[in-house]
Amino acid sequence: MTTTPIHPGAPTPGINSGGRESPLNAATGQQRSRVREGLPYPLGANWDGLGVNFALFSAHATKVELCLFSDDGQEELERIELPEFTDEVWHGYLPDARPGQLYGYRVYGPYEPEKGHRFNHNKLLIDPCARQLVGELQWDDALYGYTIGHEDGDLSFDERDSAPFIPKCRVIDPAFTWGRSREIHVPWDRTIFYEAHVRGLTMMNPKVSESNRGTFTGISDPAVLDHLRNLGVSSLELMPIHAFADDRHLQEKGLHNYWGYNTLAFFAPHPSYMATNTISEFKQMVACCHAAGIEVILDVVYNHTAEGNEMGPTLSWKGIDNFSYYRLMPEEKRYYINDTGTGNTLNLSHPRVLQMVTDSLRYWADEMRVDGFRFDLATILGREPHGFDEGGGFLDSCRQDPLLSQCKLIAEPWDCGPGGYQVGGFPPGWAEWNDKFRDNMRAFWKGDEGQLAEFATRLTGSADLFNHRGRKPYSSVNFITAHDGFTLRDLVTYNDKHNEANGEDNNDGSDDNHSWNHGVEGETDDPEIRALRMRQMRNMLATLMFSQGTPMLLAGDEFGRTQGGNNNAYCQDSEIGWVNWEFSQEGRDLLAFTRHIIALRRRYPMLHRSRFLTGDWNEELEVRDVSWLTPDAEEMDVANWESEHSRTIGVLLDGRAQPTGIRRAGSHSTLLMIVNAHHEPVSWTLPEVSSGRHWIFRLNTAEPDLREGGYYEFGSTYEVESRSMVLLELVRDDSGAGRNG
């Protein structure tokens, strides 16, 4: 007897696939279910053109119910028990389900917090692999698996239904016409990150229509993309766009979780960021960015979730399989390991949790076509039960994956756990945020003593941290400011943080800012202080762009935005946290300066080499890639380096240095940077360089004027103003200025 294979979701003869009523079996008179067995993969709700396959991992559940909701999410229409359990995955197939269907899960199992189990079928749960969420989380005591106020605390069991208060999952149709959209693949040595917030970047932009501000469509606006393109950055790094929860304690204070490091769903965009309420809006944004030549990088949070600790709500993972998804205390599984400082830590040592995270990354890289990821508290992703391991499962999975290994992977290399600080400790293929660069550059320009030697190390790519195992200078993501901390303008305007608006009596946020108000706390009309602050901003921007490594610019720093001294604007979905596009003449001048220095970085390969500068003499080529000079044009000696009072140095970058692993001379421009963080001017003797004629002026941070040109002979004196940087280019005997930049 032969049978015709049937697609796992195809309607079978005798089963009604068009409605919700199941027909009667003619022989037995019993009602037959329209639900089919389906497949255990892929996880989530997946539309195949005929129906929807539902698959949910839970190793310890005893039963899983799929709950279907009305189009407005208000009415629960039906509960369907998933019929099959395969390899710890519960699954079923609905031939009559279609894109747009709203759903959630109720998961049955033991409620035994002491053993790590917190099943409560009264709580509607978000699918960890949901592609879209509809509605907002509404805080209510019914969201908790235990009864708040009960004498047994989280050991009690709450029987209230949480469905009215939880966002619903939506089945999506992933179809999208990408048209001529192309992949970008900006080389690492030409990458310049621009860190921005979806809402914050456009909420106050008058050129973006009011209805589109704060959304992906707002990012797609030509006014935004033209600004980024004209600025010269290569890659837009967006703060978390995964669906996230607003913290209850913030809402009660009239505040919001603005930054979004509180994930509800790793596959779904945050609902309020979609002006059209469609997934295609995000894809459209990516296509527009790519058309403008700009990569899209996502800041992702795979280290913890919005469910908090044992006293937190039951929203998804906690009620699906708490024991598997989270790292629990080995001897007291009622409690969570808190290496994140947020209450819980995802257990990436579990293969299914690891699968969820890597599937999420592949979804965004493949289906959504993003170009890379910045991983929040990334040390946790490499943390195994014995501690951080650069050969851990997650880091290995990214390195071997044919898709993810081609994405830009950037680690925030620290967490709150033991051994959590791992700057320079990630494996090849990863770049890392370098907070040592941030701290040293701030301290150096502030005038702190004993910073010069480290300044030279950070300026040349932090080889002490990254020059091993074939890693390149661009492994160091250099930044002066980021979302967490002062903006650039506030860095030169405030000695102390001013976080009063956060409602925590100014106790939140770091006190270690290496900032300097230059004599007056806050804004001032004093022209001398304002001029010095502008110069200091130019100094730090120029240092950022002229350092080896990958620079990252915080949105708005290019024209001096302020947060009023707030260095922890995580809860400020307001004008404090938004970028103000109405800026003064000072802002316009700083914007022109920032464009200029980015153009200089792109012009001169010696400012973004793919090889570390060593300062070693190459006998074959008779050249040294970098030389460190004193004001009298002599090589720095040990006494110069060790002096606590040294605040000025010359950096000679010789364009004839070997540019690649092939032993041949380079043909790039030779540059001289003179850096003076002293409070007084310093007279410099300009050095003589073989095969050169003289020096030509390119930049002076002491002068707002962006003119170039003007020749200086070898041996002549150049007066370098206090707290300033000068850039000169060598004019060669045979080719005028450098041949290839």
Q: What are the DSSP calls for 207-263, one per residue?
A: TS-GGGTTSHHHHTSHHHHHHHHHHT--EEEE---EEEPPPHHHHHTT----S--SE
Does the pLDDT value for residue 20 go beyond 90? Answer: no
Predicted confidence at residue 39, as pLDDT, reads: 98
pLDDT category, 14, cuts 50, 70, 90? very low
Average pLDDT over residues 641-662: 94
Which of 171, 199, 226 marks a domain boundary? 171
CATH of the domain at 711: 2.60.40.1180
High-pLDDT (> 90) share of the chain, %: 89
Beta bridge partners of 346: 326
Instruction: Give the model confidence (pLDDT) of 147-175 as tens digits.
Output: 999 999 999 999 999 999 999 999 999 99
Predicted confidence at residue 384, as pLDDT, reads: 81
Instruction: Give the model confidence (pLDDT) of 513-549 as tens digits.
Output: 999 999 999 999 999 999 999 999 999 999 999 999 9
Distance CA 504, CA 511 (A): 14
Distance CA 582, CA 201 (A): 13
Chain Cα centroid distance, residue 326: 23
Least confident of 1-5, 53-57, 640-644: 1-5
Quick one: 247 and 144 in the same domain? no
CATH of the domain at 77: 2.60.40.10
- Is 531 within a domain? no
Instruction: Give the model confidence (pLDDT) of 106-142 as tens digits.
Output: 999 999 999 999 999 999 999 999 999 999 999 999 9
Quick one: 278 and 228 in the same domain? yes
- The encoded tokens of residue 10 equal 């195809």
Predicted confidence at residue 741, as pLDDT, reads: 65
Q: With helix as H, strand as E and coil as C, how does 153-168 read? A: HHHCCCCCCCHHHCCE
- The encoded tokens of residue 11 equal 């309607």
pLDDT category, 17, cuts 50, 70, 90? very low
Distance CA 127, CA 108 (A): 15
Does the pLDDT value for residue 354 go beyond 50? Answer: yes
Distance CA 318, CA 312 (A): 9
- The encoded tokens of residue 349 equal 């040592």
Nearest to 269 by CA among 256, 282, 286, 285: 282
76 is catalytic: no
Please say whether the beta carbons of 552 and 195 come within 8 A.
Answer: yes
Quick one: 103 and 236 in the same domain? no
pLDDT category, 593, cuts 50, 70, 90? very high
Distance CA 104, CA 143 (A): 14
Does the pLDDT value for residue 388 go beyond 90? Answer: no
Asked, as a colleague might, if the bond just before 42 is cis with ω within 30 of 0, I would say yes
Quick one: 398 and 467 in the same domain? yes
- Is 332 within a domain? yes
Q: With helix as H, strand as E and coil as C, how does 463-511 read? A: HHHHCCCCCCHHHEEECCCCCCCCCHHHHCCCCCCCCHHHCCCCCCCCC
**Average pLDDT value for the chain:** 93
Beta bridge partners of 193: 235, 552
Distance CA 385, CA 364 (A): 28
Please say whether the beta carbons of 198 and 271 come within 8 A.
Answer: no
Quick one: 337 and 383 in the same domain? yes
- The encoded tokens of residue 585 equal 């003449």
Tokens 């359990």 found at:
85
Distance CA 605, CA 668 (A): 7
SS3 48: coil
CATH of the domain at 332: 3.20.20.80
- The phi and psi torsions of 340 (rounded to 5 degrees) equal -100, -20
pLDDT category, 739, cuts 50, 70, 90? low
Beta bridge partners of 701: none
Give residue 311's domain range: 188-483+545-555+593-605
DSSP character at residue 365: I
Which of 195, 237, 307, 376 is catalytic? The answer is 376
Quick one: 79 and 209 in the same domain? no
Predicted confidence at residue 5, as pLDDT, reads: 34
Output the DSSP codes for 576-623. TTS------HHHHHHHHHHHHHHHHHHH-GGGS-SS-----EETTTTE
- Is 251 within a domain? yes
User: Which helix or strand (DSSP H or E) is residue 731 part of?
Assistant: strand 724-732
Predicted confidence at residue 629, as pLDDT, reads: 98
User: Which helix or strand (DSSP H or E) is residue 388 part of?
Assistant: strand 387-388
Q: How many beta carbons lie within 10 A of that of residue 55, not counting itself?
A: 23
Instruction: Give the model confidence (pLDDT) of 254-294 as tens digits.
Output: 999 999 999 999 999 999 999 999 999 999 999 999 999 99
User: Which helix or strand (DSSP H or E) is residue 638 part of?
Assistant: helix 638-642
Quick one: 335 and 467 in the same domain? yes
Beta bridge partners of 297: 237, 372
Domain count, the chain: 3
Which of 143, 171, 199 marks a domain boundary? 171
Which of 195, 412, 432, 589 is catalytic? The answer is 412
Beta bridge partners of 336: 328
SS3 714: coil
- The phi and psi torsions of 397 (rounded to 5 degrees) equal -65, -35
Distance CA 10, CA 293 (A): 43
Quick one: 213 and 323 in the same domain? yes
- Is 75 within a domain? yes
Does the pLDDT value for residue 25 go beyond 50? Answer: no
- Is 521 within a domain? no
Sheet of 671-676, strands arranged across:
626-629, 648-653, 671-676, 724-732, 692-700, 711-713
Distance CA 509, CA 304 (A): 20
- Is 246 within a domain? yes
Tokens 């990630």 found at:
426
For the chain, helix (H) and strand (E) counts, in that order, are 15, 33
Distance CA 34, CA 10 (A): 11
Distance CA 560, CA 583 (A): 8
Quick one: 598 and 628 in the same domain? no
User: Which helix or strand (DSSP H or E) is residue 352 part of?
Assistant: helix 351-362
Distance CA 257, CA 669 (A): 48
Predicted confidence at residue 323, as pLDDT, reads: 98
Quick one: 648 and 666 in the same domain? yes
**What are 718-721's contacts with CB under 8 Å, separation 24+?**
718/674, 718/683, 718/684, 718/686, 719/681, 719/682, 719/683, 719/684, 720/648, 720/674, 720/676, 720/681, 720/682, 720/683, 720/684, 721/676, 721/681
Instruction: Give the model confidence (pLDDT) of 602-622 as tens digits.
Output: 999 999 999 999 999 998 888
Tokens 């008058």 found at:
206
Hey, what amino acid is at 249? Answer: H
β-pairing, 711-713 vs 692-700, is antiparallel
Burial pattern 521-560, b for ≥16 Cβ within 10 A else e, equals eeeeeeeebbebbbbbbbbbbbbbbbbbbbbbbbbbbbbb
Hey, what amino acid is at 326? Answer: Y
High-pLDDT (> 70) share of the chain, %: 95
Quick one: 227 and 132 in the same domain? no
Predicted confidence at residue 705, as pLDDT, reads: 87
Please say whether the beta carbons of 206 and 225 come within 8 A.
Answer: no
Instruction: Give the model confidence (pLDDT) of 209-260 as tens digits.
Output: 999 999 999 999 999 999 999 999 999 999 999 999 999 999 999 999 999 9
> What are the distances in angstroms from CA 119 to CA 65, 238, 367, 389?
13, 35, 33, 32
Hey, what amino acid is at 262? Answer: N
- Is 507 within a domain? no
SS3 354: helix
Q: How many beta carbons lie within 10 A of that of residue 467, not counting itself?
A: 20
376 is catalytic: yes
- Is 13 within a domain? no
Please indicate whether residue 732 or residue 201 has the higher confidence score (pLDDT): 201
Quick one: 321 and 357 in the same domain? yes
